[in-house]
Structure 1
């Protein structure tokens, strides 16, 4: 697969965590009033696997307000994390049943279906388990046909703003296996030419892609 290059780069780079007085406040979840590719992304990301907490960085007021208006209403539990009285993160947990109903009754963007939909795995593979025997591959964009899509760009622009301090996002795609077919996915075609780099984290024992990393 010429379009993938094995890499040993240090991809999970740290950044200076804010220091100071920590405060955590729970706020009431608002009624759902809008639906966007951004809200769909985070609902679908949290709709499979074990229930967990989704920490969303809020590097500035613009991102914070978009989180609270477009994403937070889809979740039952919302925590505002502050350091020295400055909001740094919104923590979300428990997707609302209403959110799943909205999602199931609409045509979801194909890129989100590629990330999060697929036939059920019968092998007992643990999507969120530890992967000791793994490799990381860098996607080489000059082998990938570019894709332009204003709606997908809206999602990626927001992810880039949200992760402007960390400079990357990592998440598990659902049921991706290492193959040349991946280079035809709209998700790969767009990300390869939008992001600074795209990395696929592969379980060598099963050839499952257990993480995808977008570097901005």
Structure 2
């Protein structure tokens, strides 16, 4: 496929290990007056977190947790832990998406990019296979703008460590029509580089975003 170029990567995921001198992990208990709010952030992180029953989604924060993150993301997960470094929050660990929130999200229209990424439920247990990475060549991809999803991308940028974001996928298979999906068309022109990790059964396991 002319829009993909083999790319030799050292590692699929960046090593974000920090030497923490004083850190602890605590369960997050919201204040009683905090209410759930629904937004595109809710859509994205709930559906991301529901791809695997055992998955944990990490959001990195700088000493404080914004109310928007609490109301629109954290409140929709049944299990949230906070990593404290020197008594200040540095990481949010989300697992077990709330089923009521999930049902409500799935009963309404999904953003087209989120629908591309996580709109299909795949209950098949993935078996690991050797993978290779491919760079998407932007000159072959038609640009797609989505001002609403820009907020999700900004959130990913602000809660990630380093310049690489790796999003797991469970329902993509390599075929030429992928280049026409809203997600590929959006990310390819919003990010410095975009890579797909593809196994030897042509299953796309990860889309990796290199930020500008």
TM over 0.5: yes
1:24-62, Cα deviation, whole Å (9 max, x unpaired): 22122466531111111110012233333222211353x
Q: Show the counterpart of 1:136.
A: 133
Query: What is the alpha-carbon root mean square deviation over aligned residues?
Result: 2.1
Distance, in Å, in 1 between the alignment partners of 2:44 and 2:30 is 18
Which shifted more, 179-188 or 7-16?
A: 7-16
- Residue 78 of structure 1, CA deviation: 1.6
Q: Show the counterpart of 1:152.
A: 149
TM-score scaled by structure 2? 0.88
1:17-166 equivalence runs, <5 A: 17-29=18-30, 32-59=35-62, 61=64, 64-118=66-120, 120=122, 126-127=125-126, 129-131=127-129, 133-163=130-160, 165-166=161-162
Pick the aligned partner of 1:182 from 178, 185, 191: 178
1:120-176, Cα deviation, whole Å (9 max, x unpaired): 57xx5x33x432x2211001111111111101111111111111x321221222321
Distance, in Å, in 2 between the alignment partners of 1:141 and 1:69 is 36
Three-state SS of the structure 1 residue aligned to 2:102 is helix
Distance, in Å, in 1 between the alignment partners of 2:39 and 2:190 is 20
Which shifted more, 97-106 or 70-79?
A: 97-106
Please, which runs of 5 or more residues in structure 2 have no aligned partner?
A: none
Matched pairs, number? 208
Kept in 1, the 8 Å contact 2:117–2:169? The answer is: yes
Q: Show the counterpart of 2:206.
A: 211
Which shifted more, 32-41 or 10-19?
A: 10-19
Distance, in Å, in 2 between the alignment partners of 1:33 and 1:201 is 35
Q: Show the counterpart of 2:4.
A: 4
Give the 3 Å change call, closer, same or farther, for CA 196–60 of structure 1 in structure 2. farther
Please, which runs of 5 or more residues in structure 1 have no aligned partner?
A: none
Distance, in Å, in 1 between the alignment partners of 2:63 and 2:72 is 16
